[in-house]
Amino acid sequence: MSDRSPERRKLDHDAWLQKLLTHRLTTAEILYHMPDHPQLLQTYVWQDYDLAPKFPVLQKFLDFWEAKLDGKLHSVRVVSAQLVSPVEIRAAAESYSLH
């Protein structure tokens, strides 16, 4: 049994639905220079839900990286996909029934 009230669950559902409609699943491939060997590059993959096209969550992470971590950023490649997109509907050519 849940200890949350129906009103609280409704708010959580509404917030989740709003996020589902506005946010995108965002993946960033981050190339950075290794602190001990700056001539070598290392890859880090980051993924979260974010708002395109400004990507504030990713930007906050990159700001943290530059302020707190030793590896200097080389490049960041970003890919994002809508969580909810138009659905393609196709009629089935045939239908079978199994017993």
Q: What is the pLDDT of residue 18?
A: 74
What is the C-alpha separation between 35 and 16, in angstroms, rounded? 39
- pLDDT values of the chain reduced to their tens digit, one per residue, 99 residues: 456 777 777 667 777 777 777 888 899 999 999 999 999 999 999 999 999 889 999 999 999 999 999 999 999 999 998 776 666 556 667 777 676
What length is written for the chain?
A: 99
CB distance 85 to 25 below 8 Å: no
Q: What is the pLDDT of residue 90?
A: 63
- For the chain, state the CA radius of gyration: 21
Q: What is the pLDDT of residue 66?
A: 97
What is the C-alpha separation between 32 and 61, in angstroms, rounded? 14
* Single pTM value for the model: 0.69
